[in-house]
Structure 1
Amino acid sequence: MNDVAAAAGVALKTVSRVVNDEPGVNAATALRVKAAIDRLGYRRNDGARTLRRGRTASIGLVIEDAADVFYSSLSRAVEETALHHGCLLFTGSSQEDAARERDLVLAFCARRVDGLIIVPAGTDHTYLAPEFEAGTRAVFADRPPGAGCEADVVLSDNAGGARAGAAHLIAHGHRRIAFLGDLPRIFTAAERLRGYREALAAAGLPYDEALVAMGPADPARLRADLARLLRAADPPTALLTGNGRTTVETLRALASITGSAPGATAGAFVEGACPGLGGLALVGFDDFELADLLGVTVVAQDPARLGRTAADLLFLRLAGDDGPVTRFELPTRLIPRGSGERPPPPRRDHP
């Protein structure tokens, strides 16, 4: 700034006022200072400026997997909100590993981020206590923190969404509905299983553990579970899949099991998956790319709204809001597209 002041023939304070858009500088002088800035290639040191204010103008985001479309939408919304507040965003993927989540969070804290948004992989967040005491603020998204950690959280209505999906299949006549979910230790998977069970209970239908398959969205695992379900003496007539990746892998597995040709529609997959029974109905939890063109009925979350709400809440805390810890639960919506509206085939008596 000293060089700019000398080149423009003004005081250092005048340059500071121009750089920071402060009043008190006449138009001609401001133009002369800006010309000197351009000529010398001066750039304001925002890092030093924010550090003087006790802030770094950055936040950290820990998600499960940056490659997952759900989390990429959430991340984009957080980034847009951060930029609106003049902050940079650092992002890391935990890969559903509690130790990796902890390492990422503490690495961000070591770099003095102003705040954190965490999609937790673990259930023990006592490691955050020293960071909270040091003034770091955190908001949890998609899943709540572990016991003993008091922090704001923004969730989707996982149980309500799964309940609506299962009820939709029941309303179309299905009584044997299989649930293909994620790892049961994951909060969202457990909540969606709860919603599925509640829908069965509300309809007076028994819960049959043989119709439930929980685990990672691994193609081999899903193929084996689907083959087992379809070979059963009383197989399901409908499927409720627990997340977007599981839905996509289920469609692929059904195509593999039934030998559907590449390029066949989702309707062909579900129709051919259970020969002799008239085909399976399917409702997937989470929307996904091309689901509308494939005709897949889904229970849609709003990951962008989830990320935006979490970021807004974090910046509210960073601005000094010390109100009680809050818990937001965002609604889901059922989108009928055809695969979930198929009636069950005429029931046969089993020996």
Structure 2
Amino acid sequence: MGTEVFDRIRKGKTPINVPLTSISTAYFQGKSGGATSFFPEVPVQLSRASYYQFSKADLLRDNVSPKPILGKVDPTVIGYETDDYKCVPEQIILGYDDIIQSDVARMGAKGIMQLRQNKARVIAEQIFIHQNKVFAQKYFKKGVWGADLTGGVSVSSGSTDFVSFDNDNSNPIKFISDCITAMKKSTGRKPNKLGLGQRVFDALINHPDIMNRVIYGGNTASPAMVTTKSLAAILGVDEVVVFDAIWNSANLGEEENTGFICDENAMLLAYATPTPMIDEATAGYTFRWDMGTGNILPIIEWEGDKGTYSHYIGGMISQDMKVVCKDLGIYFQNAVTPEN
């Protein structure tokens, strides 16, 4: 690549003061895991509809009784309610000027020639940030789930429920295990996912109780490290997810203010069904509507108004992140001590 570009410069075929390389710098984030995959997705054909919520009390009650001779028992009633989801289309549009791009196209710089792909990638990145913001607003905050617990320096004051994990006196393994057992006892479901703010993850992987579980499995060539997979095994869940997506909260023209989207000091323990279906309990669902396009993230290009010599590339998404069973989630505020 470098030789080809420099040959063009030496031959005078390409101005020097233009973008030449086949790479560019862009702060795109990794899309694996994270908040967007924490709860299962449910593709829906309608933008708005209802779903059933059957009574936990009726389902867990022993409704079997002796059959009378020459008779029958009374029918068992399983109560239910309905709730609605509503998927609202949301959109982002990027544009480019054909006249300016004509100069770029004549240069033949490889990276610039992928303009449409790059614009589509920017759109996907913007929608990823938006999805994480919606997740934080709908799921990752106090007052949403069946239980809210607050960490602190000591539980003796009565204002806190557990010792924050960055405190030497904390016992995260036992505490999380007790929370798992409590949910099993009240719902019949064992929580299988633990969502962590970035600083909570940092505190847990460096906690001596957790380090002691893995330290003897390391050697010089492969030192012991606490990963999300090993942390999940130690804490007794199927998966640990770190909510590490970031965004710039400043408005256009303001000084950049970049930080984590989800509270970096918080934690969420939940049961999320691996197989969405009728009559299946889960803490949350993400309903996604394809808006009739057959694609949950359609990205299309179109020409601007006549005389503007412009093109636009737009992307849409339509979703509703719903809390389905509140008692299948526990939110932990101040799982580590917030920074001043």
Higher helix fraction (1 or 2): 1
TM-score by length of 2: 0.27
Structure with the bigger RCO (C-alpha within 8 Å, sep 6+) is: 2
Higher strand fraction (1 or 2): 2
